[in-house]
Amino acid sequence: MSLPSLPAHHLATAAAESPAGRFWDQMFTGEEYRYGKEPNAFVAVQLPRHVQQGGRVLCVGDGEGRNGVWCASQGFNTVAMEPSSAGVARIQALAAEKGVTLTVMQDLMPSSQLTPGSYDAVVLSFIHVPPAARPAFHAACVTALRPGGVIVLEAFTPAQIHNARKSGGPTVLDMMFTTELLAADFAALEVVLLEERTVVLNEGPGHAGEADVVRLVARVPRVG
């Protein structure tokens, strides 16, 4: 839903009061960072391969800030988008702890606060949305990218549930991703990497142990 007529503080309120904002407010309780303070390992490897230092990076659903703060520490011009008020506070606290500067935007995708075609990368680290919302969500991520920009994504597959993994993720099958689903959602992009595999996650208490994941790197075609 687009809200172009509302100022940013109203958009932040809408995000905080959304189901996602309320859910993650409940998840981000206690002193411990649920997913740790270090970046997603796949993001940390892939992003520097495809985006030059100083490039603009948008971390969607950045949670407690582990990816956005890391991106800023690596010299990327970073925006961390997060609907949860508790998450926003943790992103700001982690940035202060690490001594880095980034922009924190309390909002949801699709977002009227973003300028289309203005980012070199969009990071999607375990961002699972309801299937009815997913196509518009992924389309908005593509729209945010400039030519040559990349999507860097890691998420859980249905095997996470079938194998009864205890390493995190939704408990609903139709919120999981497959290579076929992602290939369809990002059909307009050039696929650099798309695979399903079993990995070992070490991302705080929320993502710990063997996990079944899908990984994607896909690029917006360059003009000319």
pLDDT in tens, 169-222: 999 999 999 999 999 999 999 999 999 999 999 999 999 999 999 999 999 998
Give residue 110's pLDDT: 94
User: What mean pLDDT, rounded, does the chain reach?
Assistant: 92
User: Does some domain include residue 15?
Assistant: yes
Task: Give the tens place of pLDDT for each residue, 138-152.
Answer: 999 999 999 999 999
What pLDDT band is residue 12 in, cutting at 50, 70 and 90? low
User: Does some domain include residue 2?
Assistant: no
User: How far is Cα 16 from Cα 85, in angstroms, rounded to an integer?
Assistant: 6
Give residue 144's pLDDT: 98
Give residue 2's pLDDT: 31
User: Does some domain include residue 3?
Assistant: no
- Per the structure, the count of domains in the chain is 1
For the whole model, what pTM was predicted? Answer: 0.92
Give residue 190's pLDDT: 98
Give residue 6's pLDDT: 44
Percent of the chain having pLDDT more than 90? 84
Distances from the Cα of 153 to the Cαs of 17, 19, 26, 28, 39, in angstroms?
26, 23, 25, 22, 13
User: Does some domain include residue 63?
Assistant: yes
Write the CATH number for 72.
3.40.50.150
What pLDDT band is residue 4 in, cutting at 50, 70 and 90? very low
User: Does some domain include residue 1?
Assistant: no
User: How far is Cα 29 from Cα 22, in angstroms, rounded to an integer?
Assistant: 12
Average of pLDDT values for 93-111? 96
Is the model's pLDDT at 7 over the cut of 60?
no
Q: Give the structural domain span for 192.
A: 8-219
- Token representation of residue 140: 């908005």
Is the model's pLDDT at 113 over the cut of 60?
yes
User: Does some domain include residue 123?
Assistant: yes
Give residue 17's pLDDT: 66
Average of pLDDT values for 63-86? 96
Contact 212, 159 (CB under 8 A): yes
User: Does some domain include residue 224?
Assistant: no
User: Does some domain include residue 172?
Assistant: yes
